[in-house]
A and B are shown apart, each in its own frame.
Chain A
């Protein structure tokens, strides 16, 4: 039984829908720019979605007691769901993922709370990550299986994997899967405290890389089984054939120098798909631009592919690192890559990493 991808939706610094994202990727138009929507840290380089909350609220026609995380997620989720009617004989669900949840509102509350002003406790009602998904589900009329994963930067692809497994076991017939995170002061300060925030434009897989630029956005994909497409009539864009999750178990934030976790996951995903390693034509890498990630990931790629590493690139210099949304956004980029026979350039690359010598696609 195959799992089909039949709908995709995107919101990122390089566009408010799939078409706009694709155009930016094709023309090399990056979305990294000085921060505008958050008052402090002005000028910091980020991948911001170029709409304020008020504009999102009016475009999406929802109430304004909602987190930016839900707003961005709903925008991408609506594009992927594409007004598909519900059907009583089909079990539908949604799995979103987020790392900040409603922190964009909670941190405004907490600032006012510390300042002894008159904080609005109502802002906290959208704090929990599950709420961000419930709001998206409610807007799309999805009831029943409503779930949220939170596994930091792997969240988006984990949602996709869980959705595929639920379809494989017949628990659901159609499921919207994805990830979303809004830019927050919490995460910006957090990554700065880790000393891995690059004040300049990020340079994944480059020897001179010194860190990441945070971004925001959402990616959603609609997964359906045969029974569901017989009713929806949706066209299959791609199939989900292989997936895996493995723990690196090395350090809370750092990846292992031997790339153990990544190696295990890549190996198991390819093995599950039944494809040969030489059949992989493109890898959309995580490539955050931090010293640690890019080295560990490069080692993992060499562990798997030896001297025959397929064409690969990181799209983080376009979008910034969108945390829980990253895997979902990049999965949609990968669907677009297959549909349009495109490989995206790894911007800002000049010098290979000394230890591994891997060279990403740059044009």
Chain B
């Protein structure tokens, strides 16, 4: 203990220094005008006579690097395909990919340096990183797509959520448990959720649905560090829950399913978007997952036979034949598709500028994506989820990427849920 006080002081100083990063103060509207007007189209940042540049702030060196790499590959392949088909507004689309490493400060710095040279951001991956960038992008009137599904992102009118928000997913999960999986009225449903935006949003949706459907919620808050859910599972069994909604990650799904099985609790577990990973089927708890695990997603699962998903899968297989497959493949494709539609809307209105793209987004009241997302997405209602429909899948060893699509589902509680309502 001889050096302890000095050690702690130095360590604290070091951590503080590491967590500080410089922020650029460049005004994205101050420079970077594109090639000027061409014909009837006014152009702005990120647009020249021959090219449109879109940005992508992703995590190629942090905790989500593997899934992010799949999305970058698919995004580049998507725009190459669009360009081969004639591009957008007679221009090729190029993607400027930058790595924020899941660091919000770095994301802000990268956004500041990137904003003058892009027309829109196709993606800012990650909750904390997108939370840091979204307000700045809103001030600058820059479109931001694909920032996850947290309800807090809906308050920004420049944001395009790819499908239903987590609260809507969780409300649907409760509806599905009651309507299809045998949870009786007056019964109990466990909600195991990550602390923070993601889990908090899911809990809000589940609580709304519980009130609507006359069931009781038994909530268990965890963090991403909680990889052994023995205590939580025991508590849920003790509370005699008839089903579980899980807003966490694959590790937590496997642990919860495994422990519940060993305690003789044969109850369904419905996970949100990111809770399933096909590699779990090689773990010792595969049988428990196959018996009781379901997944509710905003984006159609890899195994869907919808034309959009098939197109996405074929495109990915052509550029990465040995790449990891999963929900990132259709997700990245549909994010490109949503942005392409917004860019074309801006082009048609004669305003191929960041502001024009945001305006095109806000005028979109019925977006279709060939089955990658539910049809009729409505982005004209700021602050609300663009749809109440989700995809319900069951873990299935025979299905591609381990999830077999059961149905598109929109429950009564999801339909009655509204943010701020």
Q: Is this pair of chains taken from one and the same complex? A: no
- Give the interface of B toward A (CB within 8 A): none
